[in-house]
């Protein structure tokens, strides 16, 4: 049975404003991820969340990026959203026989990048390594839980099944990265991480 995907604009349930959706995603509210999964119009919002997260990381993360490199950071953020999200969908639907359409999964996984927006707090660190490390651990933990929650709500499955889908998607992405790294190495080019 495929999870229902009504258009939120026609659904009777109230639709949260965009900023409240981001806050709900940061607070790991399952109801917010359900709303995002069901709202076909939220795909563009997910793309904006990915961009906000990328800019916050570029400006406040441990490896700050010069302004002229921001377009590359943004392109990498979209690649890091679309490719792993697609691989999660492919492995979950083909290997685990879960059901959801790709846009639904990408919407949820896009909002799961919201914890990375907390990197903007890195601007307050004044180069403090312990602060940046603590912030990094917090963001990593939140992002991990947010991704599993996003997958759970996108596929309307248990947390265990969502964790399985997440791990399979991660392994598929790692395999793709290794193959691409090998191909680029054969061409004499290094991939910057």
- List per-residue pLDDT tens for the chain, 193 residues long: 445 444 444 455 668 999 999 999 999 999 999 999 999 999 999 999 999 999 999 988 878 888 888 999 899 999 999 999 999 999 999 999 999 999 999 999 999 999 999 999 988 877 788 888 999 999 999 999 999 999 999 999 999 999 999 999 999 999 988 998 888 787 765 544 4
In a domain, 142, yes or no: yes
> Residue 151 has which token pair?
């997958």
- pTM attached to this predicted model: 0.84
Count of the separate structural domains present in the chain: 1
What's the CA gap between 11 and 148, in Å, rounded? 26
In a domain, 34, yes or no: yes
Q: Which domain holds residue 24?
A: 18-186
In a domain, 31, yes or no: yes
What's the CA gap between 141 and 103, in Å, rounded? 25
Q: Are 53 and 77 in contact (CB under 8 A)?
A: yes
Burial class (CB within 10 angstroms; exposed 0-12, middle 13-18, buried 19+) of 114: buried
């Amino acid at each position: 049975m495929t999870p229902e995907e009504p258009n939120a604009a026609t659904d009777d349930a109230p639709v949260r404003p965009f900023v409240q959706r981001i806050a709900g995603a940061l607070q790991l509210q399952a109801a917010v991820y359900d709303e995002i999964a069901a709202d076909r119009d939220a795909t563009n919002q997910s793309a904006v969340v990915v961009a906000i997260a990328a800019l916050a990381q570029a400006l406040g993360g441990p490896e700050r990026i010069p302004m002229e490199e921001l377009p590359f950071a943004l392109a990498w953020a979209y690649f890091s959203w679309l490719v792993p999200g697609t691989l999660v969908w492919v492995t979950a639907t083909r290997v685990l026989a879960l059901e959801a359409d790709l846009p639904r999964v990408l919407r949820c996984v896009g909002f799961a990048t919201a914890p990375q927006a907390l990197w903007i707090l890195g601007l307050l660190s004044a180069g403090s390594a312990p602060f940046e490390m603590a912030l990094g651990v917090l963001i990593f933990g939140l992002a991990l839980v947010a991704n599993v929650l996003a997958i759970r709500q996108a596929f309307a499955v248990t947390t265990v099944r969502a964790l399985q889908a997440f791990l399979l998607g991660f392994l598929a992405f790692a395999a793709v990265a290794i193959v691409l790294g090998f191909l680029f190495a054969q061409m004499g080019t290094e991939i910057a991480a």
